[in-house]
Structure 1
Amino acid sequence: MTNKEINSMTYREATRELEEILRAIENDSVDVDELTLKVQRSSQLIKLCKDKLRSAELAIDQVFNEEKCEEPQKPGQPTNQGNGKLF
């Protein structure tokens, strides 16, 4: 599969293919010669998934910023509880 074809995959398609590769490796149905190709393909798919997740996060952050909503709470940040404000 070319880079263009990989980039046109959806997140769901990529994760589905990753799951298939994982099952094949777990079931020992991948020989050593094919293993290298599967690992390389997995690396490409993981990168695609990470890029799609980052893109979605940026788009969501942009919506919050455009709507002048409060930024989403980051894990580990203290909340504004007890200050009398709802938002």
Structure 2
Amino acid sequence: MTTENNLTFEEAMTKLEEIVEKLEEGDVPLEEAIIYYKQGMELSKLCHDKLKSVEEQLTQIITEDGQTESFSINEEE
């Protein structure tokens, strides 16, 4: 699935949704379902990695003097 790494987040999500729909129909042969499942897991990881990358980028603030500075948001429990 090396070509999948070139997908945008939105493209990967669309493909993942298509796979989920096929698997939810329930009439997919077992061997094919396993292939879909593996593809879905790879797409899920790709989406997670892209989101993690964006999250890391968003934890940097560019100050007025052009320097980057880390920050964090305390989440409410």
Q: Same fold (TM over 0.5)?
A: yes
Q: TM-score, normalised by structure 1?
A: 0.72
Residue of structure 2 in register with 1:52 after alignment: 50
Tell me, in whole angstroms, the C-alpha distance in 2 between the residues paired with 1:31 and 1:47.
24
The one-letter amino acid of 1:26's match is: E
Cα distance in structure 2, aligned partners of 1:9 and 1:52: 10
Structure 2: which 5+ residue stretches go unaligned? none
- Partner Cα distance (1:52, 1:11) in 2: 7
Match in the other structure for 1:34:
32
Residues 1:23 and 2:5 are matched in the alignment = no
**Whole-angstrom distance in 2 between the partners of 1:45 and 1:76:** 30
Q: Which runs of 5+ in 1 are unaligned?
A: 78-87
1:3-62 per-residue CA deviation (whole Å, 9 max, x = no partner) reads 1x1110000011101110111111124211101101110111011001100110111112
Find runs of 4+ consecutive structure 1 residues off by over 3 angstroms: none
Q: Name the count of aligned residue pairs.
A: 73
The residue that corresponds to 1:83 in the other structure is none
Answer with 1 or 2: which has the greater Rg.
1
- Alignment root-mean-square deviation, CA: 2.1
Percent identical across equivalent pairs?
A: 29
